[in-house]
Every structure is written in structure tokens, then in C-alpha cells.
Structure 1
Amino acid sequence: MRLLCASISVLFLAISPTVAQPLNYDPYFVLPAGLGQTSIDAGVVVSDTGDIFNTSDVVAMAKFNPQKNIEAGARFAFGWLNDNISNFSSLVVGAKYSLGHHSAATANLTVPAGDVDDPGLSLGLMNSTELTTGLILNAQFQLGLLKGYNGGKGIVVDALIEPVKVFNNRYSAYLDLFITSNTDSLSDFLAVNLGPNIDISIGDGSVLNIGVTLGLSGDAKQQETGLTFILLRNM
């Protein structure tokens, strides 16, 4: 977690098989940070730790706040280490609008580029609640619309529940629960995955996030153990 608005979050980049690309440009749960704030993320998302050099996506994200309530960003995915996708795989652009100190609305567009043939639109809400000192509960709900997300059937329904433990100004831990399905057949497309991860501050506005992802239940759950390494930097 970047100690920014006391809330960063999950590896939303652990995408279930029901979604070909992320529903959000931001791989983490972070509320809009305020006018002038800018940050970048870059790292690797591994879908199968047993075959790291053939199943890894390289991801890069940049975002900025042109107005105190608005954040805009873009996320790129590259398949240099993944045999199943193109060197340039996907682009998601979007924005967040602050609804208060602890909540925001989101809108994202997956662009027809790279491996993506059709546009997709996602709409969502995010909320962060401080349960007690050093313990936070983040939650996010998103809907995936249009063929780029739903494949032309139903609506993708995606939820994140993320307990956060802030130990000090250097270490924070997360236990991310991802629940995804499609209204066309909720049982057939159900994926429940777990993504424990940790933030390690390395100074000068930089944070290293390391995590794993595991499939828990559902026909579309993650089949192999995943791994993430992402460097986050506030500028």
C-alpha cells in the first residue's frame, strides 16, 4: 500500500478467466489523491508460477489528477514473456470521481487494440472504511459491459473485498478476495480467487508490491498459482 489516502489495494490484475482484460486501468485500489498528484506502476503479473517465462504479462500504468475530485489513467499490457498474447496486448483507459474522502465512482474503457477486437465499458464504485487504527476494509464493485468485456453475452459482475493491515510506514499487508461471474450464467462463470500481497516501502515515494493469487472455488476460478511483482511510484 502506498500510504496515500490511507488506502491502496489489491491486485485487481489477477483477472479471472471470465474477463480477458482488466476492468480497471489501476491495478490497485487507490482513491483519487487530489489535484496535481501523479503516479506510475510497472511490473510483472505471472499467471502460472510453474511456467514463469511463458505466462507472464508485463504491465505499465500511469495516472494523474487534473482536478481535485478527478483521476485519469491508462494501463498497458505487453506479452513479451507470454506465449499466449501479442507483444502489445491491451490498453485500458479510465477515470475515477471522488464521492467523498472514502469513496469514488469509476468508469473504464478497454480499447480495441492489440489482442482486443471490441470495446468494453466498465462502471464501478469503490469504498474504504477504517475499522480501527491500522485496520482498513476496502471494497469495490464493477460491471463489465459491451463485447470487449462480456464476449457479447450478459454482464460481467466483479467484486473485491480487501482487508488491509498497516503495520507501520514501511509495511502493509492485504488479503484480497476476488469474486467474478457473468449474468448469462452465474454458476458457469463463477470465479472466487484469493490474492494475499504485501507492500514494502523502499523510500523516495516508491513501493514494491509482491503477492500471490490462488483459485478458491467456481468453474472459472484461477487454475494455477499466480505471482505479481509491481513497483509503484508517486511523483
Structure 2
Amino acid sequence: MNKLEVPGKFDRAARGYDLLVGLNPGYHQALRRSAHALGLRPGMRVLDLGCGTGASTAALLTAAPGVEVVAVDASAGMIARAKEKQWPSRVRFVHSRAEDVDEGEFDAVFAAYLVRNLPEPDATLARIRELLKPGGTLVLHEYSVRDSPISTAVWTALCGFVVPMGWLVTGDRSLYTYLWRSVMDFDGATDLRNRLRRNGFTAVRSAPVPGMQLGVVHTFRGQAPAARTPEEQR
């Protein structure tokens, strides 16, 4: 499946998406753990990229209840599902591709399961850096297994459950087959840290998320430079 087709696939999967993630033990706890890595404080402005039906948005509000969140997703179906839920007035949902976001500056950016699905990840990461205030923080919550044969085997075993369940709930096997393959093909943790550095992020580090998916899901953290380059100031 072409990555440009992914938002449309999520449109069709949106109604069953919350049910599927609810069957994943530790899914929401893992998101909350990565959200805490942003070091949020009340009053901060946060961009939630690839928000889906709002699970990552809820994790951000748990990490710091007083933050303002602009939640963005390229899937109209996922955004519509998120908007059906009850949210504080400081949360706003926007239908947009990540690379097209034009919502001003942010203190922090959270992107859960996003970078792997981007047609041009480097261009989008560079755009994220531009959206961050100097010294602002980016956290990626992402699958990454290529550095470890054990993690690769664990992921494939997990997908022996995920793919048929996704097919059963949504009637579409292709999205969940794509999920398995896209993780297998994606950066290892070392490569993703290097990708962040290449795109201008500093103080880059990562750690596997504890729990059932140890070694499969990781928290990646980086910061925008403390000062803008002359080109970014123009």
C-alpha cells in the first residue's frame, strides 16, 4: 500500500479504531509515559501530530491538564471520531497533513505512530523543527524493531493477533498488513535518532517503552536549537 493511501484507509477504519486499541494491553499507559517525556507545564501550547481518534490527545492532558492542544490528523474520519468525544475548550482538532500545519509556534510537539507513515519524513521533521519555539521539545512515540532480531520476532508474533482482529473489526485486512510491514521496514532506533539529528534536533535520546511491547515501541526525544538560524528568522 502506498503511504499516500494511508489517511484514506484510516478514514474507513476510524469507527472500529478505539475498540482495537482497547484490546492492546498497555496501549494508553505507554502513550502517557511518552507524553510525560515532554516535560509539559500548564499554559504550554502543544501540537499533537497524528492524533487519530484522540488517544494521544488524552495522554497529553493527563501529563499536564492545563496545556493548550492543537490536535492534527490527515484522516478526516479519525478527526471526526475524535470530535465526537468530550474535550476541554483548550483542545482543538484540525484536519491537515502534518507537513501542511500552519498553526503558529508551539512549546512542544508530540507525534505518536506518525513518522513511519509519512511519505517524506525528513521534510516533515524539518517542518516540525520550524514550528517549535527555540528550545522546544519533540517527542516521538513510535514502533522501531530493526535493531533487534528479538524485537522483530516479538512484533511479528503480535501481528499474528493484530492483523486478523483488525480485519474482523473493520473488514479491511490491507491496513493491518501494511502496519506489520511498515514497522518491519522502518528505521531502527539508532537510525531514527540519527534522522532527528540530521533534521536539526539536539539532545536526541530514546528509550524503549516498558511493558508487553518492550523493545517494539520507543520514546524518542529531541529539542529544537535554542536559537533560530538566519534562514528560519526570515
Higher helix share: 2
Q: Which has the higher strand share?
A: 1
TM-score w.r.t. the length of structure 2 is 0.33
